[in-house]
């Protein structure tokens, strides 16, 4: 296994549940070592199914997955020992102590006890004071961090975080992002699902969009923003206009607010605005104010999911 080979390859994965529902159709995905991939998708898109299949909880109907070069079925021991999973739901035994449950996770993955490692983890996740507390005595955010500690107990190379920040307050979310950043610095590959687009924008290297069991798009975040990122320039007018003057027709302006403003749409890195303003002045239009809005990932996301295919790009 070459270190430049991808850490995870998903090849034409399909999953149809016993109920007859097809949750994944022909999903293919390649993830490089050390990157952070955010999977975005609406409820029921198949994010959890995808993660669960890779981690061994769900049996694929067809297709192959390999982690670190190991097939998840034929070589499940090697593949799984590379993986840490933080599930979407909080699933912890209520009476168990924090320390015990984290130590159990390490043992379960066949690693020798290493109290120093667990201590470091609990401290990093600000759970050290709670190490002797039973899980049921913890707050929701703490429980989620216990799940993360459990997933990291065996020092995985790939970490799956299924909606790690759902129901977590802003401050804690920032802390969680810091933890993710630290893991990335340590060379851990991270795949996370989220409904929060800001989250994907804030921490991911690449963004994948999944809807109806299909991957619509996977792209480097910056390139995605560039390729799809439009800017809207809203030009507020001193006097409303009845219609867009002909001299401005080549700029593709739109009238808005009953003619009290004009909207100019351009791509990131498009032509300079100087020409437009010169033409506006030439047409005798007095500009009162201007504001620009970058099209967010959210807009792109909504559009893609709406169109139901990747061609929207």
Ligand X SMILES: Nc1ncnc2c1ncn2[C@@H]1O[C@H](COP(=O)(O)OP(=O)(O)OP(=O)(O)O)[C@@H](O)[C@H]1O
Using CB under 6 A as the criterion, which residues of the chain lie in contact with ligand X when the complex forms? 17, 19, 21, 23, 41, 43-49, 88
Distance in Å, CB of 14 to ligand X, minimum:
12
Look at residue 41 and give the partner it binds from other proteins, ligand X, Mg ion, none, a contact being a CB closer than 5 to 8 Å depending on partner kind. Answer: ligand X
Binding mask 69-88 for other proteins (x = CB under 8 A): -------xxxxxx-x-x-x-
Residue 92 binding target from Mg ion, ligand X, other proteins, none, CB below 5 to 8 Å by type: other proteins
Residue 192's DSSP bridge partners are: 38, 161
Exactly one of 4, 112, 243, 306 binds other proteins (CB under 8 A); that residue is 112
- Sequence-distant (6+) residues with CB within 8 A of 27 are 10, 12, 13, 14, 46, 50, 63, 210, 213, 214, 215
Our finding on whether 95 is near other proteins (CB under 8 A) is: yes
- What is the per-residue DSSP string for 251-287? GT-EEEGGGTEEEEEEETT-S-THHHHHHHHHTTPPE
CB of 101 to other proteins, least distance (A): 8
CB of 33 to ligand X, least distance (A): 25
Beta-carbon count within 10 A of 178 CB: 12
Q: Do 63 and 14 contact (CB within 8 A), yes or no?
A: yes
Separation between Cα atoms, residue 99 and residue 103, nearest integer Å? 6
Q: Closest distance between ligand X and the C-beta of residue 194, in Å?
A: 9
Of 2 and 43, CB closest to ligand X: 43
For 207, phi then psi, to 5°, come to -125, 130
Instruction: State which of residues 5, 74, 93, 291 lies at the interface with other proteins (CB under 8 A).
Output: 93
CB of 158 to other proteins, least distance (A): 12
CB 146 within 8 A of CB 107: no
Give min distance, CB of 15 to other proteins, in A: 9
**C-alpha dihedral over 282, 285, 290, 293, to 10 degrees?**
-80
CA–CA dist 46, 67 (Å, integer): 20
Among 5, 28, 30, 57, binds other proteins (CB under 8 A): 57
Binding segment for other proteins (CB under 8 A), chosen from 105-113, 222-230, 254-262, 287-295, is: 105-113
Stretch that binds other proteins, among 96-104, 201-209, 212-220, 232-240 (CB under 8 A): 96-104
Q: Which of 8, 11, 1, 15 is CA-nearest to residue 212?
A: 15
Q: Whose Cβ is closer to other proteins: residue 49's or residue 261's?
A: 49
- CA dist 228 and 300 (Å) reads 7
Kindly tell me which residue out of 34, 58, 184, 265 binds other proteins, with binding defined by CB under 8 A: 58
List the strands of the sheet with 254-256, edge to edge. Answer: 254-256, 261-267, 230-237, 287-294
92 forms part of the interface with other proteins (CB under 8 A): yes
Cβ count near 99 (within 10 Å): 19
Query: CB 173 → Mg ion: shortest distance, Å?
Result: 18
Binding string to other proteins for residues 150 to 169, with x set by CB under 8 A, is what? Answer: x-------------------
Q: Looking at residue 123, what DSSP letter applies?
A: H
Q: Which of 63, 104, 114, 181 binds other proteins (CB under 8 A)?
A: 104
Q: For binding to other proteins (CB under 8 A), which residues are involved? A: 17-18, 55-59, 76-81, 83, 85, 87, 89, 91-96, 100, 104-112, 150
């Amino acid at each position: 296994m070459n270190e430049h080979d991808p850490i995870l390859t998903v090849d034409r994965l399909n999953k149809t549940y016993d109920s007859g529902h097809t949750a994944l159709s022909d999903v293919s995905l390649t993830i490089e070592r050390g990157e952070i991939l955010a999977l975005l998708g609406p409820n029921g898109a198949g994010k959890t199914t995808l993660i669960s299949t890779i981690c061994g909880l769900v049996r694929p109907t067809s297709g192959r997955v390999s982690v670190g070069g190991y097939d998840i079925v034929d070589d499940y021991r090697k593949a799984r020992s590379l993986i840490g999973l933080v599930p979407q739901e909080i699933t912890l035994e209520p009476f168990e102590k924090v320390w015990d449950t984290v130590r159990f996770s390490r043992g379960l993955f066949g690693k020798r006890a290493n109290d120093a490692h667990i201590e470091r983890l609990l401290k990093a996740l600000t759970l050290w004071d709670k190490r002797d507390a039973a899980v049921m005595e913890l707050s929701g955010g703490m429980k989620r961090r216990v799940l993360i500690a459990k997933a990291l107990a065996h020092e995985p190379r790939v970490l799956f975080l299924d909606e790690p920040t759902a129901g977590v307050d802003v401050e804690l979310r920032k802390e969680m992002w810091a933890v993710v950043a630290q893991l990335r610095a340590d060379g851990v590959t991270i795949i996370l699902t989220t409904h929060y687009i800001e989250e994907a924008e804030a921490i991911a290297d690449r963004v994948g969009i999944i809807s109806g069991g299909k991957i619509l798009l996977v792209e480097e975040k910056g390139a995605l923003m560039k390729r799809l990122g439009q800017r809207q320039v809203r030009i507020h007018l001193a006097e409303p206009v009845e219609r867009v003057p002909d001299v401005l027709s080549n700029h593709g302006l739109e009238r808005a607010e009953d003619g009290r403003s004009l909207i100019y749409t351009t791509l990131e890195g498009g032509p300079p605005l100087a020409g437009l303003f010169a033409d506006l002045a030439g047409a005798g239009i007095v500009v009162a104010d201007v504001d620009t809005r970058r099209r967010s990932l959210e807009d792109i996301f909504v559009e893609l999911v709406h169109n139901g295919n990747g061609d929207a790009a």
